[in-house]
Chains A and B, each alone.
Chain A
Amino acid sequence: MPASCEQEIMLTGDLHARPAGALAVAAGRFAAVIRVTVGDRTADAKSVLSVMGLGATSGQHVTVSAAGPDAQEAVAALVAILSEATKVGG
């Protein structure tokens, strides 16, 4: 059971309000501390306002990192949401 985990994904759409909300709702269900990093900016994945404040756009590389007992599951879940949710925008 890894204590920390990290994965990078390239956004296929802008990180608008609805995908940011989906990300934060999912993140809030994990015990791990989860961060989303774009360039030199990092947000708490459980804070929807913090995630929206990243201003992440299509084509940018986003790193999801987590530390805690369910870090691996958290990163997998959030990367899946980022790859799906940013296709539709909103």
Chain B
Amino acid sequence: MTTASVGIVLVSHSAELAEGAANLAAQVSGGTVTIVAAGGTDDGDLGTSAAKVEDALRQADQGAGVVVLPDLGSAVLTVRAVLEDYGSAGSVLLADAPFVEGAVAATVIAAAGGDLKAVAAAAEEARHARKL
């Protein structure tokens, strides 16, 4: 396929958690989707960084939009603050989803060629998936 995939941004309070979830989602989906981790503060502490989120959004956008997954509610505040001033906010969807399952489900749908809404929906539907 020549059309660009939807990009994924994983915003976590922990850099390691964001990187780990990005790595897992990339492995499961075959590595064709751009997944960018935005974890931790600018100083490397636990927390979120507006600068990291903004950089991640720009890196992840391959032309088909970006779905953002926050790990915990307070990461949402940072993402929303960034989106207020972000030029292409209309091509970004913030998904209300479990972090690991949502990242994997969203990335797989993006790899299969799903559009922005389909990828965000896959992330949000992940809350209903049973493991057992």
CB within 8 Å of B: which residues of A? 17-18, 20-22, 24-29, 46-50, 52-53, 90
- Among the stretches B12-20, B46-54, B72-80, B100-108, the one at the interface with A is B100-108
Q: A21-B28, A47-B125 are in contact. Are A28 and B131 (CB under 8 A)?
A: no
* In the complex, B62 has a CB within 8 A of chain A: no
Chain A residues with CB below 8 A from B108, complex form:
21, 24-25, 28, 48
Q: Assess the B113–A47 pair: CB atoms within 8 A.
A: no
Q: Is the Cβ of A53 less than 8 Å from the Cβ of B112? A: no
Are B126 and A28 in contact, with the CB atoms below 8 A?
Answer: no
Q: Which residues of A contact B132 (CB under 8 A)?
A: 53
Is B105 in contact with A25, judged by CB distance below 8 angstroms? no
Contact A47 B129 (CB under 8 A): yes
CB-based contact A24/B125 at 8 Å: no
A47-B105, A47-B125, A49-B105 given as contacts; is B27 within 8 A of A25 (CB)? no
User: Using a Cβ cutoff of 8 Å, how many contacts connect chains A and B?
Assistant: 54
Question: Which residues in B have their C-beta under 8 angstroms from that of A47?
Answer: 105, 122, 125, 129
B-chain residues with CB within 8 Å of residue A22 when the two chains form the complex: 30
Q: Which of B28, B113, B130 is the one whose CB lies under 8 Å from A18?
A: B28
A49–B129 touching, CB < 8 Å? yes
B94 to chain A, nearest CB (A): 20
Candidates B28, B113, B130, B131; contact of A48 at CB < 8 Å: B28
B25-45 residues with Cβ-Cβ distance < 8 A to A are 27-30
The CA of A54 and the CA of B130, in the complex, are separated in Å by 9
A21 in contact with B130 (CB, 8 Å): no
Asked whether, in the complex, the Cβ of A49 is within 8 Å of the Cβ of B113, the reply is: no
Judged by a CB distance under 8 angstroms, whether B21 is at the interface is no
Residues of A within 8 A of B113 (CB): 28-29
CA A21 – CA B112 in complex, angstroms?
Answer: 10
Q: Which residues of B contact A18 (CB under 8 A)?
A: 27-28
CB of B116 within 8 A of chain A? no
Chain A contacts of B28 at CB under 8 A?
A: 17-18, 20-21, 48
Q: How far is the CB of A29 from chain B (nearest CB, A)?
A: 5
Answer whether residue B111 sits at the interface, using C-beta atoms and an 8 A cutoff.
Answer: yes
